Structure 1
Amino acid sequence: MRRFTEGFYGYAVAVFVCLAAAGLFLLIAPQSREEHIPRREYSITVANFGHSVPYGVWAPAKDPAGWVPNSNRIAKGENNAQVLSLGYATAKREHAMFVQSDEKPAAAFASRMANSERVVGTEQVAGQTWERRLREDKDQRSLVRMLPEVTLVVTGTADWPELAELAASLQQRPRG
């Protein structure tokens, strides 16, 4: 019995037993081949945000087709301003996020959310002009719209058409 616990044969038997156990586990363990992106409902977060700010809140009227809302939060920005963030996995499985705040100065907030001060052009979305900002080293594109009461930023690794799709879905909800 001693020869099975020492030397090369002992090592080979131990490796075989471990591989057989791992193979058996993989054979009987349930496996999912489907992609799973957690869905996070944001309507309550948007409603709570609306009660804490002095302006009508912007939010998607309807999520773009094939997109999965996967994060939302209210945070404190500079000067105690409230910041609402809604994150998505796009139809192409890239990341897109919508952020809004009345933080001042608006340009500083927009630059921080876009990770860039570099404006590379403009884009017309649903009849409104948005700034395009680009941060190439992080593969991040952003659309920025500065309004008198609030700054809107749509940003992420999604391409320009997908970001524009999210921006086009935004509607201001009445203050309430």
Structure 2
Amino acid sequence: MRRFTQGFYGYAFAMMVCLAGVGVFLLITPQSRTEHIPSVNFSIDVANMRRDASYQVWTPDPVLANWVPTSSRMTRGKDSEGRATVTWRLGFATAKRAHALLAQSDERPAAGFANRMANSDKPQGSVQVNGVTWEKRFREDKNQRSLVRFLPDATLVVTGTAQWDELSALAATLKQQSKLT
């Protein structure tokens, strides 16, 4: 018996016992084969934005099929001119499982907000979405595409690693919400 616990054969036997234990563990442990992306409910942020923002808020209505809202964040701050601002960022996992983000703010200068959200200050043409012109921007090193729309009282940016067709689809769902008092 002593020979079996020493040397190469003892080592090989111990390894086989360990591997068999791991194999049994993997067989009996439940494993999920379905994808799970945590989802958030952004309705409270929409209500707060409609009440607090100086501009009319834009929301995706409806949320696109197979898109999952993954983050929602409303922030109050001050812009470079010292004015109070309200900004909202709403993130999605798209149907193709890329990332898309809707960002909107009344920050001034508007170009500063758009440049930060798009990680680029260089327009590369434009695209028409539901008869509205959006500025296109692309940052190759981050694989980030952006659609930017400057409104009189706010700036909208649809950005992410999603392809142009998905970003355009998100922009197409945006509906202006009435202000809450």
TM-score tier by shorter-chain length is over 0.9
2:30 is aligned to 30
Query: Residues 154 and 11 from structure 1, CA distance in 2 versus in 1: closer, same or farther, beyond 3 angstroms?
Result: same
- Overall identity of the aligned pairs, in %: 59
Which aligned runs of 4 or more in structure 1 are off by greater than 6 angstroms? none
Give the secondary structure class of the aligned counterpart of 1:121. strand
Give the secondary structure class of the aligned counterpart of 1:24. helix
Per-residue deviation, residues 4-51 of structure 1 (Å, max 9, x unmatched): 443322322221121111100110111111111111111112112222
- Measured after TM superposition, the shift of residue 2 of structure 1 is 3.8
Pairing 1:96–2:100 present: yes
Letter in 1 for 2:55: Y
* TM-score (norm: length of structure 2): 0.91
Report how many residues are paired.
176
Letter in 2 for 1:143: L
Matched ranges for 1:56-75 at <5 A: 56-75=56-75
1:114 is aligned to 118
Q: How many Å separate the matches in 2 of 1:78 and 1:137? A: 30
Matched ranges for 1:27-176 at <5 A: 27-76=27-76, 79=79, 81-176=85-180
Per-residue deviation, residues 105-141 of structure 1 (Å, max 9, x unmatched): 1001101000111111001111111000000111110
Query: Residues 14 and 49 from structure 1, CA distance in 2 versus in 1: closer, same or farther, beyond 3 angstroms?
Result: farther
Q: How many Å separate the matches in 1 of 2:140 and 2:68? A: 25
- Structure 2 unmatched ranges of 5 or more: none
Give the secondary structure class of the aligned counterpart of 1:81. strand
Query: Residues 77 and 131 from structure 1, CA distance in 2 versus in 1: closer, same or farther, beyond 3 angstroms?
Result: farther
Query: Residues 7 and 51 from structure 1, CA distance in 2 versus in 1: closer, same or farther, beyond 3 angstroms?
Result: farther
RMSD: 1.5
Q: How many Å separate the matches in 1 of 2:101 and 2:162? A: 9
